[in-house]
């Protein structure tokens, strides 16, 4: 029987109050949640002083990025949102969650209401409205005319993202006529996202290579990969970060060591790669040996077997664990505040030390929690959608 | 220095142990550090970054605080521009390693000047003059009527565990033969929360910290610092040992700020004082101090007007103090030991001769 067809009252009874114990648990949970929510709202609306967040919002988001260069970040945000909108529009109805109209409506409301309710200044509010508009426009335009585009063009679209990423790094860092903004001036959410995205993007291929190396038939390659993975997994991340910040200066002659922001990014990358390698290895191990043999006997060479037969299947198995690792990686970036980088947590600690806002820790930490939750939820949603898509492919018979 | 020795030293620094004695091979008369800073066009200054009044970040991303002003004054003296500073936030365990490895040129990070940190067999730092005489203090609610440490006999005192504050308190109370109950907490937040809930009669840590925390209390006026100071915490900037020219440049830049207060030169009147000294050849002391005659700057490897540059950047020591931690700030610390020697304090600059 379809539960959705039952009237609300009997559905509630069935799902929440089936037995006395169920009822007790349900009531307890509802009361507990209600009390918690009420206490939180009471605190947020009457006791909290949100001036600390309003006055430091720029600092929290971009750190010490020079004020007169911030148009570059706005431009980048607009580009990213435009590209996201177009991608969204093209993928609509192709294995993506169906409720995207609802998602668009929610986004529209958030885009209009949030900037106003946060008490941002008028020009910044307007910029957010423009950017939300751009995103929805991209979605709408791609939805209307995307299908009319030649298939070859649509195939090229995913390539826009790596190009955009490199362009973004260029925009943030400067050069080629733009004023250079040194990594030491990046901060806040910007630094957290740069570090996390760089580490995620680079550790994935590195992890795959390490996993393949660990299963390689060449003993030296196998030993090296195993040694690397076991060494990294045997050391706490914070130790490696300290190592990078303080030892490299000793080992390399002055000025040769890369900037500490990039040092930290590479260490995060190398650290995560070892864990990704293990996830991918699990995926490889889950694949029946017959897949290899079948592909080889069809006359595919080693590279073709890997690219077209083995990896697509192994990565599908490894995806949930890998995304879990990515989310951990994003959260691990908070360790950067311990080595003196002004990531989101580092900037937050600096904000809380501002004599004007002493004792306003709870407000700042709450905002941090919300920001981190949003980033992690976005990663989680993306991976679930990807899994959904991949699984749909796997159920369909191959042509 | 052999690579192996470097590695050993680095490892020692990494685990927060005392660094092995670092006999320098850079002891020539040329200051490598200063040449490096001038070539780079920027001073890299290690700060705490999250300590109200000493170093913190404003909403617009700029660093402020007493420790920060020392960095700015030094940059002004060496490079002629107080803005040419790159700040590095350092935590307690990495600060000495960062200085030793050359990650920072100057450590201006509320560091207590101690023998083992100064000695070549210890951390081997070279300390600049003390810029803030701190000491462990006690805070009590005003309503309790307690006026000195004797009044705390037999009472519970909140203290953070694992700190020197805990040890100093125990030593002092044993000395006074006074019973007390230490209530120990893992974090400072817990400590102050317990104090505010009335679980202890007093809370103890460095006086500057107590004052800073007090500003975050619901009613800061209801709490007072006792006059007793139970430990010595002289906070001083530090440079790496083995580059005496660089250490001297930092040392005398700081002395210049102290001397300026003694001479009544402020950020506001420094230009007037310069014109006055220029016009009047009889003011020999002032002329030498401001670099109009003599070669003090040259002797230190700095520009002749380094004193003027430093004062223009941050003002004299008194102004730096009042602006960041004194009456001009929310911390409202008394000058106390940090008064000029002429007013009975410990701030004293050797003669500029």
Does residue B26 share a domain with residue B10? yes
Any domain includes B351: no
Any domain includes B290: yes
Does residue B72 share a domain with residue B43? yes
Q: Closest Cα partner for B274 from B323, B239, B309, B313? A: B309
pLDDT of res. B240: 92
The residues, ordered by sequence, that sit 6+ positions from B9 with a Cβ below 8 Å of its Cβ are: A250, B19, B20, B22, B100
For residue B94, give the nearest of A67, A242, A356 by CB distance.
A242
Domain boundary among B231, B250, B279: B231
Any domain includes B169: yes
Residue B14: CB atoms within 10 Å: 18
Interface mutation target, options A242, A355, A357, chain B, most CBs of B under 10 Å: A355
Any domain includes B151: yes
Q: How far is B217 from chain A (nearest CA, A)?
A: 7
Answer yes or no: do B89 and A341 touch at CB < 8 A: yes
pLDDT of res. B25: 41
Answer yes or no: do A58 and B13 touch at CB < 8 A: no
pLDDT of res. A253: 64
For residue A350, give the nearest of B10, B11, B49 by CB distance.
B49
Q: Chain A partners of B212 at a C-beta cutoff of 8 Å?
A: 355, 358
Contacts across the A-B interface (CB distance below 8 Å)? 114
Cα separation, A109 vs A124, in Å, equals: 17
Q: What is the pLDDT of residues B61-98, one digit of tens each?
A: 889 999 999 999 999 999 999 999 999 888 777 888 88
Q: Chain A partners of B89 at a C-beta cutoff of 8 Å?
A: 340-342, 346, 350
Q: Chain B partners of A59 at a C-beta cutoff of 8 Å?
A: 57-61
For residue A358, give the nearest of B3, B52, B103 by CB distance.
B52
Does residue B244 share a domain with residue B219? no
Mean pLDDT for the stretch of residues A239-247? 85
pLDDT of res. A98: 59
Contact A14, A6 (CB under 8 A): yes
Answer yes or no: do A64 and B329 touch at CB < 8 A: no
Any domain includes B353: no
Any domain includes B348: no
pLDDT of res. B190: 77
With a pLDDT cut of 90, the percent of chain B lying above it is: 59
pLDDT beyond 70 at A93: no
On whether any CB of chain A is under 8 Å from the CB of B332, the answer is no
Answer yes or no: do B7 and A65 touch at CB < 8 A: no
Cα separation, B213 vs B192, in Å, equals: 8
- Using only C-alpha atoms, what is the Rg of chain A? 25
Token reading at A345: 């947590």
Answer yes or no: do A358 and B215 touch at CB < 8 A: yes
Q: How far is B46 from chain A (nearest CA, A)?
A: 10
Q: Chain B partners of A363 at a C-beta cutoff of 8 Å?
A: none
Name the strand (E) or helix (H) holding B64: strand B63-64
Q: Chain A partners of B50 at a C-beta cutoff of 8 Å?
A: 349-350, 352-353
Does residue B240 share a domain with residue B203? no
Mean pLDDT for the stretch of residues A66-79? 88
pLDDT of res. A244: 84
Any domain includes B265: yes
pLDDT of res. A1: 47
Residue given tokens 């909290």 in the structure block:
A48
Cα separation, A257 vs A270, in Å, equals: 17
| ipTM reported for the complex surpasses 0.85 | no
pLDDT of res. A397: 41
Least confident range from A288-297, A353-362, B336-345: namely A353-362
On whether any CB of chain B is under 8 Å from the CB of A350, the answer is yes
Domain boundary among B171, B198, B231: B231
CATH of the domain at B174: 3.40.190.10
Mean pLDDT for the stretch of residues A211-222? 92
pLDDT of res. A66: 86
Q: What is the pLDDT of residues B224-265, one digit of tens each?
A: 999 888 998 899 999 998 899 999 999 999 999 999 999 999
Answer yes or no: do B94 and A339 touch at CB < 8 A: yes
Domain boundary among B231, B261, B296: B231
Nearest CA in chain B to A62: B61
Nearest CA in chain B to A350: B50
The most confident of A240-244, B14-18, B179-183, by mean pLDDT: B179-183
Q: Which of residues 226-285 of B touch A (CB under 8 A)?
A: none
Q: What is the pLDDT of residues A326-379, one digit of tens each?
A: 999 999 999 998 888 889 998 898 888 787 777 778 889 999 999 999 999 988
Does residue B44 share a domain with residue B107? yes
Where does residue A61 fall: left (phi above 0), alpha (psi -120 to 50 degrees), or beta otherwise?
A: alpha
pLDDT of res. B321: 96
Please give the C-alpha separations between residue A268 and each of B1, B36, B297, in angstroms, as whole numbers: 30, 30, 46
pLDDT beyond 80 at B267: yes
Contact B123, B96 (CB under 8 A): yes
Please give the C-alpha separations between residue A163 and each of A30, A77, A166, A177, in angstroms, as whole numbers: 48, 15, 5, 19
pLDDT of res. B4: 53
Cα separation, B259 vs B266, in Å, equals: 11
Answer yes or no: do A340 and B9 touch at CB < 8 A: no
Least confident range from A173-177, A371-375, B272-276, B340-344: namely A173-177
Interface mutation target, options A68, A344, A358, chain B, most CBs of B under 10 Å: A358
pLDDT of res. B17: 37
Average pLDDT, chain A: 85
Q: For chain B, how many structural domains are there in total?
A: 2
Does residue B67 share a domain with residue B140? no
Q: What is the pLDDT of residues A51-60, one digit of tens each?
A: 888 888 888 9
Q: Which residues pair with B13 in a beta bridge?
A: none
Q: Which residue has the higher pLDDT, B185 or A95?
A: B185
Quote the pTM value.
0.79
Average pLDDT, chain B: 87
On whether any CB of chain B is under 8 Å from the CB of A253, the answer is no
pLDDT of res. A224: 95
On whether any CB of chain A is under 8 Å from the CB of B17, the answer is no
pLDDT beyond 60 at A106: yes
pLDDT of res. A217: 87
pLDDT of res. A380: 87
Contact B125, B241 (CB under 8 A): yes
On whether any CB of chain B is under 8 Å from the CB of A254, the answer is yes
Q: How far is A269 from chain B (nearest CA, A)?
A: 21
pLDDT of res. B30: 65
Answer yes or no: do B10 and A338 touch at CB < 8 A: no
Structural domain boundaries enclosing B26: 3-133+234-343
pLDDT of res. B18: 35
Position B212 confidence tier, pLDDT thresholds 50, 70, 90: confident
Domain boundaries, given as residue ranges, for chain A = 3-47, 66-180
For residue A355, give the nearest of B7, B10, B53 by CB distance.
B53
DSSP H helical ranges for chain A: 8-16, 20-42, 51-55, 57-62, 71-91, 100-117, 122-145, 151-173, 188-214, 219-233, 237-242, 248-251, 260-286, 289-297, 302-304, 311-332, 344-353, 361-395
On whether any CB of chain B is under 8 Å from the CB of A55, the answer is yes
Nearest 10 degrees: CA dihedral of A39, A42, A46, A47? 10
Q: Chain B partners of A353 at a C-beta cutoff of 8 Å?
A: 49-52, 55-57
On whether any CB of chain A is under 8 Å from the CB of B20, the answer is no
Mean pLDDT for the stretch of residues A138-161? 80
DSSP-assigned states of every residue in A242-278:
HIIIIIHHHHSPTTTSPPHHHHHHHHHHHHHHHHHHH
pLDDT of res. B289: 95
Q: What is the pLDDT of residues B1-59, one digit of tens each?
A: 444 555 544 544 444 433 333 334 434 456 889 999 999 999 999 998 888 889 988 88
On whether any CB of chain A is under 8 Å from the CB of B326, the answer is no
Mean pLDDT for the stretch of residues B128-147? 93
pLDDT of res. A96: 52
DSSP H helical ranges for chain B: 3-14, 32-40, 66-79, 95-100, 115-118, 164-175, 188-196, 207-214, 244-263, 270-279, 284-289, 296-300, 306-314, 317-324
With a pLDDT cut of 70, the percent of chain A lying above it is: 92
On whether any CB of chain A is under 8 Å from the CB of B351, the answer is no
Any domain includes B349: no
Quick check: helix, strand or coil at residue A66? coil
Answer yes or no: do A358 and B213 touch at CB < 8 A: yes
Residue B167: CB atoms within 10 Å: 13
């Amino acid at each position: 029987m379809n539960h959705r067809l039952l009237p609300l009252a009997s559905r509630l009874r069935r799902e929440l109050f089936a037995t006395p114990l169920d009822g007790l648990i349900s009531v307890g949970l509802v009361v507990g949640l209600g009390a918690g929510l009420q206490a939180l709202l009471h605190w947020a609306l009457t006791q909290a002083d949100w001036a600390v967040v309003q006055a430091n919002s720029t600092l929290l988001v971009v750190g010490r990025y020079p004020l007169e260069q911030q148009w570059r970040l706005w431009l980048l945000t607009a580009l990213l949102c435009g590209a996201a909108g177009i991608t969204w529009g093209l993928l609509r109805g192709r294995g993506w969650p169906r409720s995207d109209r609802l998602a668009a409506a929610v986004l529209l409301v958030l885009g209009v209401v949030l900037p106003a309710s946060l008490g941002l200044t008028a020009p910044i509010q307007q910029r957010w409205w423009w950017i939300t508009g751009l995103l929805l426009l991209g979605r709408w335009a791609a939805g209307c005319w995307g299908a009319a585009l030649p298939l070859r063009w649509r195939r090229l679209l995913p390539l826009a993202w790596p190009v955009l990423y490199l362009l973004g790094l260029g925009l943030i860092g400067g050069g080629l006529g733009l004023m250079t903004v040194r990594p030491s001036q990046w901060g806040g959410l910007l630094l957290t996202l740069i570090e996390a995205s760089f580490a995620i993007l680079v550790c994935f291929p590195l992890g795959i290579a390490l996993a393949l190396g660990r299963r390689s038939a060449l003993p030296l390659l196998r030993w090296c990969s195993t040694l690397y993975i076991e060494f990294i997994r045997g050391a706490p991340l914070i130790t490696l970060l300290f190592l990078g910040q303080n030892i490299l200066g000793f080992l390399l002659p002055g000025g040769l060591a890369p900037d500490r922001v990039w040092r930290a990014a590479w260490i995060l990358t190398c650290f995560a790669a070892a864990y990704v390698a293990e996830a991918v290895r699990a995926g490889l191990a889950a694949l029946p040996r017959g897949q290899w043999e079948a592909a080889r006997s069809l006359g595919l060479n080693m590279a073709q077997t890997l690219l077209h037969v083995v990896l697509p299947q192994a990565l599908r198995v490894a995806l949930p664990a890998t995304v879990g690792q990515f989310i951990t990686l994003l959260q691990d970036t908070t360790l950067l505040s311990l080595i003196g980088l002004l990531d989101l947590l580092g900037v937050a600690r600096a904000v809380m030390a501002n004599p004007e806002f002493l004792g306003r820790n709870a407000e700042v930490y709450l905002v941090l929690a919300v920001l981190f939750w949003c980033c992690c939820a976005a990663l989680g949603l993306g991976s679930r959608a990807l899994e959904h898509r991949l699984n749909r492919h796997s159920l369909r018979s191959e042509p | 220095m052999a690579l192996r020795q470097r590695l050993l030293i680095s490892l020692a620094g990494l685990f927060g142990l005392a660094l092995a004695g670092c006999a320098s091979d850079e002891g020539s008369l040329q200051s490598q550090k200063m040449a490096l800073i001038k070539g780079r066009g920027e001073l890299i200054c290690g700060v705490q970054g999250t300590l109200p009044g000493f170093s913190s970040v404003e909403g617009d991303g700029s660093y402020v605080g007493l420790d920060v002003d020392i960095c700015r004054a030094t940059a002004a003296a060496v490079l002629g521009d107080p803005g040419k500073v790159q700040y590095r936030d350092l935590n307690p365990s990495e600060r000495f390693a960062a200085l030793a490895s050359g990650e920072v040129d100057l450590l201006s990070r509320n560091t207590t000047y101690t023998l083992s940190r100064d000695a070549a067999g210890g951390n081997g730092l070279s300390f600049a003059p003390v810029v803030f005489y701190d000491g462990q203090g006690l805070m009590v609610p005003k309503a309790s009527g307690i006026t000195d440490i004797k009044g705390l006999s037999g009472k519970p005192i909140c203290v953070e565990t694992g700190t020197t504050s805990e040890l100093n308190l125990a030593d002092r109370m044993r000395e006074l033969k006074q019973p007390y109950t230490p209530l120990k907490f893992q974090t400072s937040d817990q400590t102050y929360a317990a104090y505010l809930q009335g679980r202890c009669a007093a809370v103890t840590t460095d006086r500057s910290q107590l004052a800073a925390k007090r500003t975050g209390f619901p009613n800061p006026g209801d709490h007072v610092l006792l006059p007793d100071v139970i430990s010595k915490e002289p906070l001083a900037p530090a440079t790496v040992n083995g580059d005496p020219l660089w250490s001297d440049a930092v040392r005398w830049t700081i002395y210049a700020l102290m001397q300026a207060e003694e001479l009544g030169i402020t950020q506001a009147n420094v230009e007037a004082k310069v014109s006055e000294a220029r016009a009047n050849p009889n003011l020999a002391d002032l002329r030498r101090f401001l670099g109009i005659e003599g070669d003090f700057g040259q002797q230190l490897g700095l520009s002749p007007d380094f004193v003027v540059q430093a004062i223009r950047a941050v003002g004299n020591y008194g102004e730096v103090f009042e602006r960041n931690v004194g009456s001009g700030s929310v911390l409202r610390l008394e000058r106390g030991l940090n008064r000029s020697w002429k007013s009975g304090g410990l701030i004293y600059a050797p003669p500029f001769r």
